Structure 1
Amino acid sequence: MRRFGLRGFGLRDRVMLAYGLLALGLSVVLALVTWGVVSHYLIQQRTDSAIVETTDNAAALHYGLSRVHPAVGKLLDSLPSTDRAASLVYFENQWYAAVGSPADLPPQLVANARAGGESDQQLQVAGQHVLAVGVPLSRPGDAYFEWHPLDGLDGTLRTLRITLLFAVLVTLLLGLAVGRLASTLALRPLAELTYAASAVARGRLDARLQAEDDRDLGGLATSFNQTAAALEQRVAADARFAGDVSHELRTPLMTMLNSMQLIQNHRGELPEVVREPVELLGDDLERFRRLVVDLLEISRDDGGDRGSRELVMIAELVQAAADATAGRSVTTVAADAAGLVLQADKRRLERVIANLVENAEDHAGGCKGVFVEAGGLGVTIHVDDAGPGVPLADRARIFERFGRGSDAAPTRGTGLGLAIVARHVQWHHGTIVVTDNPDGGARFTVDLPANLRGQPPGCMVAPSDSEGVTMRLRG
């Protein structure tokens, strides 16, 4: 498709274009054939009619010219009235004309008629399209000529051209419409497959296609369902493994943390050369603890933890989680957001706020502020930091598991905090993006669907993730 410049067209567009081009080609061929047959027929009919009229007038003129000293001019004027535009006669080596000039007649036409043969030719005379006809008279060398106007025929052919052109355009539009309809029907299974695959990519591993007894599509649906089921089982197994490992690590980790706390309580009794290694070990143990906690959180989601929704005063929850994580007051609530209610998993939402504030505090120069306001999907939460900002190339990568920015230090953080944030925001059917703060630094913006106070709970909340996705694959 690259050679034909169709890279910008989708499959549906290409099918529609193919139908349109096919209809255009057929209509053009039909129009050309129709034009050729009809125009030839009309021209031939007009020519035959003109020749018959000219021959009849020549026969009438013959009787008058057979007299002695005929008055040729009067004879021309006495001919029956027809649609001719001019009549001329070459008689006894002299031209006579009622209307018209012999100079306008083509020499070859005159020569053929004087030689004894009928001849006709289309020409322009004084801006008028006419058909000149010449027929011989009984005396050798004499001939009679008429030209007949073709304005009526030209008008008919012009109307025919416009009609055929309009028919071609209508056929093209009909072909495009039929192609669009056909592509929609033909590609409907592909659209449903795409939707199911997108659901799986978003974490809805229970998405399935409803297989039908169709020899063409049934195999595809079965293969997709088997692949999705295998993937779901693999992810669940990996989640169970990560959860089991994390649980097994918690006991020795708690022992090490308690032992380290005991050692740090007696830090002053330690030799100077041992204090720095102990501090480094304490930092690594804290990082190890956070890694285990994050792994448990990830494995809980991957393992199918459906959570529970409850009505939450979003402003109060954000303020409590953000201020507690930062150790100071960092939250500002807009007046229009004070009464917003969200159907949410309180634990997940608190983790979202805590992780964003921790990320700002530990890796971005500190949290400059957390702002809650009404807008977006319902409620918008901004978390601003004092760091250098996030490059455009890294703004998607930082939400991946163990994803860090290109300039991040390799030993800082676990690389799971923002991945957990993205998962929990998605669980709430919200969105999260990172942009530049107008005052410097990065701004993480979370949009969550919320209910205004006084409205029935759940009126803006999408169906729970616990509901499976099943789509019928139709041919």
Structure 2
Amino acid sequence: MMLAYGLLALGLSSVLAIVTWSVVSDYLTEQRDSAAVVVTSDSAAALRYGLFGAPASCRPGHEQAECDNPTLLPGVRPMDVLNSLPSTDAAATMMYLEDHWYALTGKPSDLPPDVIQGALGGSVVQRRIEVNGQPVLAVGVPLGRQGDAFFEWHPLTTLDSTLRTLKLTLISAAFATALIGLAVGRLASTVALRPLAELTRVARAVATGKLDERLEAENDPHLGGLARSFNQTAADLERRVAADARFAGDVSHELRTPLMTMLNSMQLIQNHRAELPAAVREPVELLGDDLERFRRLVIDLLEISRDDGGDRGSREIVRIADLVRAAADAAAGREVTTVESDAEHLTLQADKRRLERVIANLVENAEDHAGGCKGVGVRAGGLGVIITVDDAGPGIAAEDRTRIFERFGRGETSGRGRGVGLGLAIVARHVQWHHGTIQVTDRPGGGARFTVELPAKSG
């Protein structure tokens, strides 16, 4: 819309400028030419009177300038008559009389031959020429006798300067009008598309998990129906997500009691593993692994249901280096954290439980599904602090690098197929809750590198 307004304004202003230039330039040129011819004709009339005196006889119905065969007055000197002419803006004054040139200024050689011949033949002739690089209008007027003529040329510098100024003014006005058109188009498009921009903002917010966002255009005569439909859809989605979260939370809570019973029983059985028959030991180990996966699944479901249920958490100032070092080393069971000196004193307004879960999930993911954690790094940069978790696995294919952060989205091509698919989804949700970003790339030397950026500042 802005471009359309700008082009329309440019087109209209260009047409107006062209028409104005054509009319005004033609008018000014015609007026200048007519004035030059009139001035030269008046000078020629005064010159005839000074050379020939008043005509003796003229045919009825003709002007004095057309009287036949005037003769020079006795004792008249042509140069004296030329000198006596009233001053005008003419840059040159010349006369051809009785086969001789008389000139006050200018050179007859600068006159075009056709101008000379036309004037000597009894016609008023005018022509634009250049003399010494300057544009002039050469005018030739007959003196009333065949073979005699008077010539002047008038400078056109002022006219050309005026026309040049007019041209620049019109061009500037056209561009200024185009810019005004662009500004008006931008304003009009902003006003016209403001409801759509609001719709885009609210839709983006809903897509990122802010299900309580609503449009405020329900009373708009044009977008009211769309706004009401969108708000109804968002409200239904919010209720559905809340119901699913409650269901997942209720199920998880109900599973905790029998799960704890099974885990305690399994621990008791494993304590007496040496007393079991050899044929039973392997099934017991497999059952223990599945019970551990079941335990982590229940914990992850409780975590997700807590987020989906609207848990706002609590923010406190935490020292990132200490938190990452404690969470990562505990999850790996050994020291794996390296903190750069520029990150030792970085702090963040964070939910300590959520941030610890982010680090623990990434390290456990590397330990359990990617050949072990190769190291956790903390350094200043990016949004404030950059946390990297490297593993020794085969890496993650490019097509899986977004899907692994979805719920139950597992990177099958990366050797992580045994996971339940919720740990990285929880990581992504918690990082977003802290207004940070997470991405996965290839680690130099092989494996995957998870990079978390969080908005931190020096404590």
Q: Report if TM-score (shorter chain) is over 0.5.
A: yes
| Cα distance in 2 between the residues matched to 1:346 and 1:149 | 88
The answer to whether structure 1 residue 368 and structure 2 residue 378 are counterparts is no
Which of 414, 418, 421 is 1:408 aligned to?
A: 414
- What's the counterpart of residue 45 of structure 2? 59
Matched-pair contact (CA < 8 Å) for 2:324–2:359 = yes
2:61 match = none
Q: Map 1:34-183; keep pairs closer than 5 Å.
A: 34-63=20-49, 64-65=51-52, 66-67=71-72, 71-92=77-98, 94-98=99-103, 99-183=105-189
- Residue aligned with 1:135, SS: strand
1:218 maps to 2:204: no
- Work out the CA distance in 2 between the residues paired with 1:352 and 1:197: 27
Bigger mean CA offset, 331-340 vs 33-42: 331-340
Does the C-alpha gap of structure 1 residues 410 and 330 become closer, same or farther in structure 2, counting only changes over 3 Å? closer
The change in CA–CA distance for 1:411 and 1:371 in structure 2 (over 3 A counts) is: closer
1:261-276 to structure 2, matched below 5 A, reads 265-266=272-273, 269-270=276-277, 272=279, 276=282
State the SS of the aligned residue for 1:208. Answer: coil
- Inter-CA distance 313–348: structure 2 relative to 1 (3 Å threshold): same
Q: CA deviation at 1:143?
A: 3.2
Aligned counterpart in structure 1 of residue 359 of structure 2, from 349, 353, 356: 353
Q: CA deviation at 1:220?
A: 3.5
Q: CA deviation at 1:107?
A: 4.5
Contact 2:346 2:456 in 1 (8 A): yes
Q: Which structure's relative contact order is higher, taking Cα pairs within 8 Å and 6+ residues apart?
A: 1
Shift of 1:420: 0.5
* Corresponding residue pairs, total: 437
Q: Give 1:146 deviation, angstroms.
A: 2.0
Any idea what the Cα deviations from partners look like across 1:107-148, whole Å, max 9, x if unmatched?
444454345432322122332211121223323454332221
Query: What's 1:20 paired with?
Result: 6
Deviation at 1:285, TM superposition (A): 4.1
CA contact (8 A) 1:72 1:96 kept: no
Write out per-residue CA displacement over residues 193-238 of structure 1, whole angstroms, 9 at most, x where no aligned residue.
3222222122111111223532124334323322211221222233
- Residue 301 (str. 1) matches residue 307 (str. 2): yes
Q: Say whether 1:418 aligns with 2:404.
A: no
Among 390, 396, 401, the alignment partner of 1:395 is 401
Q: Map of 1:446-457 to 2, 5 A cutoff?
A: 446-449=452-455
Q: Which residue of 2 aligns with 1:8?
A: none
Is the 1:73–1:96 Cα contact (8 Å) retained in structure 2?
no
Shifted more, 331-340 versus 221-230: the winner is 331-340
How far the C-alpha of 1:271 sits from its partner, in A, is 5.3
Query: In 1, are the aligned partners of 2:124 and 2:140 still within 8 Å (CA)?
Result: yes
Q: How does 1:195-210 map to 2 (within 5 A)?
A: 195-210=201-216
What's the % identity of the aligned pairs? 70
Report the TM-score when normalising by structure 1: 0.79
Describe the SS at the equivalent of 2:419: coil
The alpha carbon displacement at 1:262 in A equals: 6.2
Match of 1:130, SS state, is strand
- Unaligned regions of 5+ residues in structure 1, if any? 1-14, 454-475
Distance 1:378 1:96, change over 3 A: closer
- In the alignment, the residues of structure 1 paired with residue 327 and residue 212 of structure 2 have an alpha-carbon distance, to the nearest angstrom, of 33
Which of these residues, 178, 184, 188, is aligned with residue 190 of structure 2? 184
Tell me which amino acid in the other structure corresponds to 2:11.
G
